[in-house]
Amino acid sequence: MDFDLNEEQLAIRDMVRELARKEIAPHGRKWDEAETFPKEIFAKLGELGMLGILIPEEYGGAGLGYVEYVAILEEIGAADGGVGLGVAAHNSLCTNHIFTFGSEEQRKTYLPRLATGQWMGAWGLTEPQAGSDAGGTRTTARRDGDLWVLNGQKTFITHASVGKVAVVMARSQPEKEKHHGISAFIVPLDTEGVEAGKKEAKLGMRSSDTATLILEDCRIPADHLLGEEGDGFIQAMKILDGGRISIAALALGIARGALDQALAYAPVREQFGKPLSAYQMIRAKLADMGTMVEAARLLTYKAAFLKDRGQTVTRESSMAKVYASEIAVKVAEEAIQILGGYGYTRDYPVERAWRDAKLCTIGEGTSEVQRLVIARELLRGAQGTV
């Protein structure tokens, strides 16, 4: 059991930390207030291999593992949650789905552009009537000769209006119930019949592009099917196992960023003739915040370590995600409390961290769903020992 990153992993972390502090953190407020997707920083991240972290070098990726991925996302999340969300969604969902379940031809066609940041990728599972209940997918895919015809609407889609390609789940076998009969398709977003709808006005993560994806008689070639027909739901659940590690890492980063702000502020802000850090109540807050961040880090890195070993991480990724996301909200809130009135202003990034953190308890499976998954996995394991 080794809790240390190796030299290569430390070098990657430190490189991303420097980039995040110099080129992301100073612009976070501007991007947030303008609700602007910062194309320039994503181009830079693509050049550095940060948009193809898990993709082998033969397809233009960095060829790294989940441990490195967590280290990278923590640093970006600590600087700006919206940019971190874009990196997480692009890597874990669209790009990783094509790599994991795509044919060799599909990999060679799409991954080099996605992994290098030439294209941003989107992933379409959620619908107006199918959020936590993804089996309720209503988007349809009908075979018409050598084409698939897709109709439906996907909501809360990251990169819907800035992306070039999406992986979309649609019901291709309507005679089958719930999650059976759902298939996954590669949909170039410049295809006729595809349109980005309303851009969401969000509480936080406002530098991340989020919009509705509308499909009206969208015709794509038959070879754009990913894997076997009817396997889309199963594929999506496997992708989300890894995706939840990325959201845990993002939440960890947001929490650590808020803690860093509180630690920097408490010793220099004086009240009643003493710095805030001299007061026992503030020290207790800082101690609790630090402990929560470290516990989230351990859960997240354990899930990443097991994922890199090829193990099933449904339970571990859900535990990391639910804990890290909820403590991120708590730590950011406590940071605001320590900064007092200044923490409530946009002059300090802790209020943005608080707003950003909340999405981590909702996206890629709500906290409530994570607890259902964790309980199911625990009971399954317990039954195996009786």
- In terms of C-beta density within 10 A (0-12 exposed, 13-18 middle, 19 or more buried), how is residue 262 classed? buried
> Does the annotation count 364 as an active-site position?
yes
Query: Mapping DSSP to helix (H, G, I), strand (E, B) and coil, where does residue 218 land?
Result: strand
- Nearest partner of 258 among 32, 39, 81, 50, judged by Cα: 81
Backbone φ/ψ region at 187: left (φ over 0), alpha (ψ -120 to 50), beta = beta
- Nearest partner of 164 among 232, 95, 104, judged by Cα: 95
Length of the chain, in residues: 386
Where helices occur in the chain by DSSP H, the ranges are: 7-19, 28-34, 39-47, 66-79, 81-89, 96-101, 104-115, 232-265, 280-308, 314-339, 350-360, 367-383
Q: What is the 3-state secondary structure (H, E, C) of 3-27?
A: CCCCHHHHHHHHHHHHHHHHHHHHH
Q: Find the catalytic residue in 23, 105, 364, 368.
A: 364
Phi, psi values for residue 36, rounded to 5°: -105, 135
DSSP notation for 191-216: STTEEEEEEP--SS-TTS-EEEEEEE
- Nearest partner of 257 among 11, 7, 9, 28, judged by Cα: 28
Q: Which helix (H) or strand (E) holds 217?
A: strand 210-221
Can you tell me the distance from the alpha carbon of 215 to that of 192, in angstroms, rounded to the nearest whole number? 9
> Which residues have a catalytic role annotated?
364
